[in-house]
Amino acid sequence: MPKVLVMNAGSSSHKLSLFSDKIENARSALWKAHIEWGKKNPSYTLKNGSQESNPIYLQTTSVKQGIQEVIEKLWIGDFAVIKGVHEIEWIGHRVVHGGSLFHQPVLINASVKKDISNLSSLAPLHNPINLEGIELLEKIFPSIPHFAVFDTAFHRTMREEIKTYPIPYEWREKGIERYGFHGISHSYCAKQIKKWIKPQETPFKLINCHLGNGASLCAIQDGFSIDTTMGFTPMEGLMMGTRSGSIDPGILIYCLRNKNLSLEELDHLLNFESGLKGIGGTSDMREIHAFKNKQSQLALDMYIYRLKTGIGAMTASLGGIDALCFTGGIGENDSYLRKKTCEELAYLGIQLDLQKNQGGNQDREISLRDSPVKVFVIHTQEEWMIAKSCLECLT
């Protein structure tokens, strides 16, 4: 049976999933691997059906060698599900920034790779990693089609007044606009929540919170992106693991003029040394909770404050809210953060069921039955969405 392998390269992890060409649902992966690079000793876990490994430490800190090591587990060892590379017929890759060039999945060729590389300055934490993954898998699987699926594509439905920044219009004509990111995840959650909601006569207004090392909100009306917090690059918007999110641009001018920072130093500080890490000393929300000191508490308070004000802004864009969804590593697993955020948004009609909020690894509604605004936890399945997009391209 033909199979599709999906590579989802993030800013701090790589996820690999294998699917058959008959994808029944988002839980139908034949095999999964999750590599985490954020720790001193990178590790990965494997899943094969109901069987899941404990963390396995990589024998290398090299991304290329680490991915090669993990991919070989597809056909070597206790978690093997295929006999060799010949059983895989297509590869799907998540690419974060497609700019104004890519609004749908594309077959990867030299020209597409050049465009992805040229867009790397707009997503320096992501596009180079995405391209590295593409080129590595092309060496392992040289004779089969590779497809790119873009995070920015979902947001192509945003209106001009939302996409356009209040800067000289000539900049807009040169492609400086709000693109938005996490589109694969936002689209997946919108599709899943649609199954939970009874049909209504008025437009359905959802705010999706993708909270991981990177974080963004999306205002979604009837399945279409209306507004989002990330913009021209994945640095805008919410406070994140290592990224600042939105700050006063005057701070940047001040630092360049008065603090003798180079552009490269400023870029590094904003992308790699800010956010939770800059304030609380770590980009890992679990460690922020565990540290229990003044700076970690400040980092947590700031994160929740910026999250709730962002949700308020998305509510204004939609003209109301019917449902709120939490997804991503933090959104799916941090019950305290969900509780605090929802408590501070009670004025919108959000009523959380504390018991439902606490338990369970499954997708679920966590609001009270009579809550005017429904609240959900959805475990995002970006790899499944990418696999579906690849198969749709082929058919």
Instruction: Supply the residues annotated as catalytic.
Output: 151
Dihedral of the alpha carbons of 150, 35, 134, 136, in degrees to the nearest 10: 180
List CB contacts of 198: < 8 A, sequence separation 6 or more.
none
Residue 25, marked binder: no
Residue 331, marked binder: yes
Dihedrals phi, psi of 75, to nearest 5 degrees: -125, 5
Rg of the chain taking only CA atoms, in angstroms = 21
Residue 385, marked binder: no
Residue 382, marked binder: yes
Task: Decide if 241 contacts 213 (C-beta within 8 A).
Answer: yes
CA dihedral sign, ordered 91, 145, 142, 78:
positive
CA-nearest of 21, 15, 245 to 130 is 15
Residue 286, marked binder: yes
CA dihedral sign, ordered 340, 236, 181, 290:
negative
Residue 332, marked binder: yes
Task: Decide if 328 contacts 215 (C-beta within 8 A).
Answer: yes
Residue 383, marked binder: no
Residue 210, marked binder: yes
Residue 330, marked binder: yes
Residue 175, marked binder: no
Residue 285, marked binder: yes
CB atoms under 10 Å from CB of 126, counted, come to: 23
H helix intervals, 174-236: 183-194
Cα 166 to chain centroid, rounded: 27
Residue 94, marked binder: yes
Residue 211, marked binder: yes
Q: Which residues are annotated as a binding site?
A: 8, 15, 94, 210-214, 284-286, 329-333, 382
Q: Which residues are annotated as a binding site for substrate?
A: 94
Q: Which residues are annotated as a binding site for Mg(2+)?
A: 8, 382
Q: Which residues are annotated as a binding site for ATP?
A: 15, 210-214, 284-286, 329-333
